[in-house]
Structure 1
Amino acid sequence: MEDKILVIAHSILDQGTLPPEKRLSAGALGILQDLKELGVNLIPLPDLYTYYQQWTKKSQEEGRSPEPYEEYLRRQLVPLVNQVMDRVRGGARFLGVLSYRGDASQQVEPENSPLMVELFRLFDRNCMITPYYEIPLNLTPEEEEFLIADLADTLRF
């Protein structure tokens, strides 16, 4: 059985982390069922923006100066990228990154979030071509079908 992996934004799994007006569902997005049916293994990106805010608050309470957000991102993303690279070296097929436009902390359009800039930079440093897919803010059933068809095409079904 082929190991097909896709890195996904945390908000695809947990819409509750978003403001109510940005949510597409009351829980995980329905596209996850389609990905499961395609035999795709998911590697979630953690909610690093929220984690950084919590870490910064704790650091300041303890009288320490927190590191810049970009350095924090790099430190947190390197293990995830290494995990992907290890699996690819072991024969897995890397399908790319799937994000949700409604999550400003992990979006590419209309503006790259610092997290995505660092993630793509780390994959690039490892000579990894990184296909990118994004779930629109107001996903229609037709757009969901197109997105699934695009992913299925990447999988060569």
Structure 2
Amino acid sequence: MEDKILVITHSILDQGMLPAEKRFGMGPLPVVKDLMDLSVNLVAVPNVEKQYALFQKDQIQRNTGVEEDYEKYIKRSLAPLVNEVMERVKNGSTFLGVLSYQGDETQRVEPETSPIMIELFRLFDRNCMLTPYFEISDKISQEEMELVISDIVLSLGI
């Protein structure tokens, strides 16, 4: 059985992390079940912005005086994910690309790419990995959400 990998943003699995007005609903987006039915393995991008805020808060509470640049923190957080995907690809897995949710401004691609997604694509690019992507619109109806898997299958070549 083929190991197909799709990198997804954290908000696809956890809509509760988003402001109420940006949520499609609670829990994962319905497309997750469709991807699982297609035997696609999902690798989630962590909630880097939230983790950075907690890291900064911890550093302040400990009075360490250590501050890490946000861009460096992003790279440090995403490099292990990219390395894991690259290792799996070297061992025969198929990398399908990246799936994001436009309602998550911290990890969206369109209309304005977030620093997290820029770094994610940059890291894949440095590893000579073509990175197709699909983004689920935040202005999608329930009926359209039910059909989004067709668009994803076509866009990502699943």
Fold shared per TM-score above 0.5: yes
What is the identity, as a one-letter code, of the residue corresponding to 1:22? Answer: K
Aligned to 2:61: 61
Aligned to 1:126: 127
What is the deviation of 1:139? 1.7
Query: Distance in 2 between the 1:67 and 1:144 partners?
Result: 42
Query: Distance in 2 between the 1:91 and 1:152 partners?
Result: 21
What is the deviation of 1:26? 1.4
Aligned to 2:37: 37
User: Does structure 1 conserve the Cα–Cα contact (< 8 Å) formed by 2:30 and 2:145?
Assistant: no
Aligned to 2:117: 116
What is the deviation of 1:149? 1.8
Query: Distance in 2 between the 1:68 and 1:87 partners?
Result: 30
What is the deviation of 1:38? 1.1
Superposition RMSD in Å = 1.3
The aligned runs of 1:1-157 (5 Å cut-off) are 1-63=1-63, 64-140=65-141, 141-142=143-144, 144-145=146-147, 147-153=148-154, 154-155=156-157
User: Does structure 2 conserve the Cα–Cα contact (< 8 Å) formed by 1:7 and 1:43?
Assistant: yes
Query: Distance in 1 between the 2:77 and 2:144 partners?
Result: 35
What is the deviation of 1:60? 2.1
What is the deviation of 1:151? 3.0
3-state DSSP class of the match of 1:29?
Answer: coil
Query: Distance in 2 between the 1:91 and 1:131 partners?
Result: 18
User: Does structure 1 conserve the Cα–Cα contact (< 8 Å) formed by 2:31 and 2:145?
Assistant: no
TM-score under structure 2 length normalisation = 0.93
Query: Distance in 2 between the 1:27 and 1:142 partners?
Result: 18
The C-alpha deviation readout for 1:51-98, integer Å capped at 9, x for no partner, is 000101111222313211100011111110000000101111101000
3-state DSSP class of the match of 2:134?
Answer: strand
Query: Distance in 2 between the 1:88 and 1:144 partners?
Result: 30
What is the identity, as a one-letter code, of the residue corresponding to 2:144? Answer: E
What is the identity, as a one-letter code, of the residue corresponding to 1:120? Answer: F
